[in-house]
Structure 1
Amino acid sequence: VTTSIYNLILGKLYCDHYGTMRIQGNCEYSCKLKFKEQSIIDRNPHQ
């Protein structure tokens, strides 16, 4: 997962996470999470 930090100098500071994360348990269970990158059209950075 990649993290980007926005508005470091001006405005309200927020970060955006995107990419793929794989979580594996002790047994045969595993999970793959895909974080969607924020698009330019999205107005609310906290969605």
Structure 2
Amino acid sequence: AIAAELKLSEGTVKGYVSVVLGKLGVEDRTQAALFAVKHGLVEASDL
């Protein structure tokens, strides 16, 4: 869905997500969401 919206291949989006997760020092999207809440980037109720 994300790839189609951005008109990118699924592999490209997976690569970008992997890079972001690495920069955040987390292993998956769930940990990234927790990171965002912990650092005040989003409210838990928004997830």
Query: TM class, shorter-chain normalised?
Result: under 0.3
TM-score by length of 2: 0.17
Structure number with greater Rg is: 1
Higher RCO, Cα 8 Å, sep 6+: 1
Higher-strand-fraction structure: 1
TM-score by length of 1: 0.17
